[in-house]
Chain A
Amino acid sequence: QVQLVQSGGEVKKPGASVKVSCKASGYTFTNFGISWVRQAPGQGLEWMGWISTYTGNTNYAQKSQGRVTLTTDTSTSTAYMDLRSLRSDDTAMYYCARGELPDPFDIWGQGTMVTVSS
């Protein structure tokens, strides 16, 4: 079936980097873009950015500019989100989700918890 499976939870210290993966299966990876969305504990959803799995073009939310890099590996149907210079307020569940701009997200990964703590 169509699914996105994300990598496991991470615990990082402030200032470190984290790279979360999102492996697609059940469909042609390059037919749909991938967005990344995060959710701090008890808070709402925040869109971080989008990547075209076909061209590699990216669209970052203003808040993500400079600290977030989105990439893909089409040979393994995997998308990646790299977040640098981690701060405590980056502690959140991070989701990948399928969708072309400006369409909605019809498939979501299960989420990856990233905890930033000294």
Chain B
Amino acid sequence: YVLTQSPSVSVAPGQTAIITCGGSDIGSKGVHWYQQRPGQAPVLVISYDGDRPSGIPERFSGSNSGNTATLTISRVEAGDEADYFCQVWNSGTDHYVFGTGTTVTVL
């Protein structure tokens, strides 16, 4: 099972960043999103399509339907500059799969 993300997204401060994760019938799976700042370990920012863990700003939201899951970052700040990875549990193989990753650059 393959999860495809666009390699990069550039956004001005205060604007909205939209990051997509494509996969066959991904809408039937629970999608999780991780933020990885340079030199740091990943951090869970969205679980099960749209749930925000404690401490994650409301500016982060997610949705999932059909063949595309989406992570939306509203009112982007400089600190949001990072790599973002989607992840699913593939019940067909009983394995986790990560997306290819998207680098968000804040202009």
Q: In the bound complex, do residue A44 and residue B41 qualify as a contact, i.e. CB atoms below 8 Å apart? A: no
Is there a chain A Cβ closer than 8 Å to B28's Cβ?
no
Interface residues of A in 50-83 (CB under 8 A from B): 50, 59, 61-62
Is there a chain B Cβ closer than 8 Å to A46's Cβ?
yes
* A45, A101, A108: the one within 8 Å of B89 (CB): A101
* A45, A102, A103, A108: the one within 8 Å of B91 (CB): A102
Q: Which residues of A contact B85 (CB under 8 A)?
A: 44-45
Interface residues of B in 24-62 (CB under 8 A from A): 30, 32, 34, 36, 41-44, 47-48, 53
Interface SS majority for chain B:
strand
Distance (Å) between the CB of B47 and the closest chain A CB?
5
Interface size class of A (residues with CB under 8 A): 20 to 34
Nearest A-chain residue to B46, judged by Cβ: A104
Q: In the bound complex, do residue B96 and residue A47 qualify as a contact, i.e. CB atoms below 8 Å apart? A: yes
* B44, B53, B89, B101: the one within 8 Å of A102 (CB): B89
Tally of contact residues, B, Cβ under 8 A: 24
Q: In the bound complex, do residue B94 and residue A59 qualify as a contact, i.e. CB atoms below 8 Å apart? A: yes
CA distance A50 to B99 in the complex (A): 18
Q: In the bound complex, do residue B95 and residue A105 qualify as a contact, i.e. CB atoms below 8 Å apart? A: no
Q: Which residues of A contact B89 (CB under 8 A)?
A: 101-102
Beyond A105-B44, A111-B41, whether A59 also contacts B53 by CB under 8 A is no
Q: Which residues of B contact A45 (CB under 8 A)?
A: 34, 36, 42, 85, 87, 98, 101
Q: In the bound complex, do residue A62 and residue B95 qualify as a contact, i.e. CB atoms below 8 Å apart? A: yes
A residues lining the B interface (CB < 8 Å):
35, 37, 44-47, 50, 59, 61-62, 95, 97, 101-106, 108-111
Please give 15 more A-B residue pairs, beta carbons under 8 A apart, in addition to A46-B98, A106-B53: A37-B42, A44-B85, A44-B99, A45-B85, A47-B96, A47-B97, A47-B98, A50-B96, A95-B42, A97-B42, A104-B32, A104-B87, A105-B34, A106-B47, A108-B42
B residues lining the A interface (CB < 8 Å):
30, 32, 34, 36, 41-44, 47-48, 53, 85, 87, 89, 91, 93-101
